[in-house]
Amino acid sequence: MSAFRVGIAGPVGSGKTALLDALCKAMRISYPIAVVTNDIYTQEDAQFLVRSQALENDRILGVETGGCPHTAIREDASINLAAIAQLEQQFTD
């Protein structure tokens, strides 16, 4: 079965990562959660979630899009779909 996916989008500095951090911490006991973050050239958002212990480290996967993260979602989602497939294979819960 495919994982239920939720996308969180918005402008830089709008609180996307803070929202994701809070959601993970609130839901991690009740639901098997994993996260894919998108950054242009870094894994800054994924590293923030690891440092804040939002989830177990191996449930957080940072993707470097090399360009606008919105393009990685709207025009060519392959990098994100590959990350999701990796997490689905690793975690069967």
Per-residue pLDDT of the chain (93 residues; tens, 9 = 90+): 678 899 898 888 999 999 999 999 999 999 999 999 998 888 999 999 999 999 999 999 999 888 766 666 677 788 889 999 999 999 988
- Separation CA 37–CA 34 (nearest Å): 10
Indicate the helix (H) or strand (E) that contains 17: helix 16-27
What separation in angstroms does the CA of 27 have from each of 47, 62, 63, 77?
A: 19, 20, 22, 26
Given a contact cutoff of 8 angstroms between Cβ atoms, the answer to whether 79 and 47 are in contact is: no
Domain boundaries, the chain: 31-90
